[in-house]
Amino acid sequence: MELNLLPPKPDQLTFLVKPNPAPRSAEERAALLEDPGFGTVFTDHMVDICWSDRGGWHRPRVQAYGPIAMDPAAAVLHYAQEIFEGMKAYRHADGAIYTFRPEMNARRFNRSARRLAMPELPEEFFLQALKEFIAVDGDWVPSGDDQTLYLRPFMFAKEAFLGVRPAKKYNFYVIGSPSGAYFSGGVKPVSIWLSETYARAADGGTGFAKTGGNYAASLLPQQEASAQGCDQVVFLDSRGNVEELGGMNIVFVMKDGTLVTPQSDSILEGVTRSSLLQLAADRGHTIEERPVSLQEWRDGVASGDIVEVFACGTAAVVTPIGELKGAGFSDEQPTGSLALSLREELTDIQYGRREDTHGWLYRLDA
């Protein structure tokens, strides 16, 4: 007779909650939520789950937000095994808290994990971690116009060693940062600098993964963009095809109403882009995901075949592009009304002001 000594694989973890001994008072929290800006205010707690090659995922907990003790030889500090996600929690008019298509973030997180030779976090643990976090810090989800609690799940290699190989110990965290309207004073078209000196990603590289190194590589070109008076930077691949901005995908609207977005193995597949394109398809627009060359972009704008260009991502949702500037040229971009109307439809769904016909919302506080 064979004895199976392994316990059944759990689809839920049992979290330990260790409350913050000194949480902010309701008054302090209310003051912070009044005008939180972006990414500088943090809630009182964080999720922390360990992984080791021997024990798998273990020691799940919600504990006080605070510094993470780490050995100076921790692998992440040397070889950058780190991945993250970015998503938002929305408070609806009835007080309930939802997030948006979190299973897409969970799957993307695992695509990133595989590319960085890190352990995958089962999708149900990812979703549970968000709910456990909100169960403790749900009061930090603001209720003002365009306000959200930005959620940042991330994982990195904590094993202390200096050999170049995948680590055997990792920690997964979720932290939350209340954030206000991304654009104070309304959405305005941005200017984009075309980086031809620097690439963000290479064929076969890590461009499709949400890993810190991609963002580190985009900072110098972003500085170049600022020095050129531009708000953001857009990257090309080695064949001269348009990829994406430093932290947003790009979409072109054609004269006949078709929406075209770059197809590439080295860009991040945005949840926002996928959702906006679905909403546009629902309205009858044709969607094309295919390579778009810089030449096609510039010629299309010059001939009037391209009637709108916009960038999209979780943080800013949708940003019209008003200018493309590069070495020796500056092309004014046509702006229309589609980008902003899709933005409104999407945010209406996210905040519960419009019916969620696709089942995209996921309740976090129940």
Quick note: the x/- pattern for ligand PLP over 73-92, rule CB under 6 A, is -------------x------
47, 133 contact by CB (below 8 A): yes
Least distance between ligand PLP and beta carbon 20 (Å): 29
Residue numbers 236-255 binding ligand PLP by CB under 6 A: 244, 247-249
Q: Does 313 bind ligand PLP (CB under 6 A)?
A: yes
Q: Which of 314, 319, 333, 350 binds ligand PLP (CB under 6 A)?
A: 314
**Contact flag: residue 205 with ligand PLP (CB under 6 A):** no
281: three-class secondary structure by DSSP: helix
Structure tokens at 233: 């930077």
The yes or no reply on residue 272 touching ligand PLP (CB under 6 A) is yes
Q: Assess 212 for contact with ligand PLP (CB under 6 A).
A: no
| Contact status: 112 vs ligand PLP (CB under 6 A) | no
Q: Do 152 and 174 form a contact (C-beta atoms < 8 A)?
A: yes
Angle at 249 between CA 212 and CA 118, to 5 degrees: 30
Of 24 and 152, nearer to ligand PLP (C-beta) is: 152
Question: Both tokens of residue 287?
Answer: 């969607």
Residue 205 CB, shortest distance to ligand PLP, in Å, is: 13
**Smallest separation (angstroms) from ligand PLP to the CB of 38:** 12
- Region of 6 (left: φ > 0; alpha: ψ -120 to 50; beta: rest) is beta
Phi, psi of 100 (to 5 degrees): -120, 120
The residue assigned the tokens 């901005």 is 245
Nearer to ligand PLP by Cβ, of 176 and 247: the residue is 247
- Those residues whose C-beta lies under 8 Å from the C-beta of residue 45, and which sit 6 or more positions away, are 19, 20, 62, 63, 64, 65, 133, 136, 137
Contacting residues toward ligand PLP, per CB under 6 A:
86, 244, 247-249, 268, 270-273, 313-315
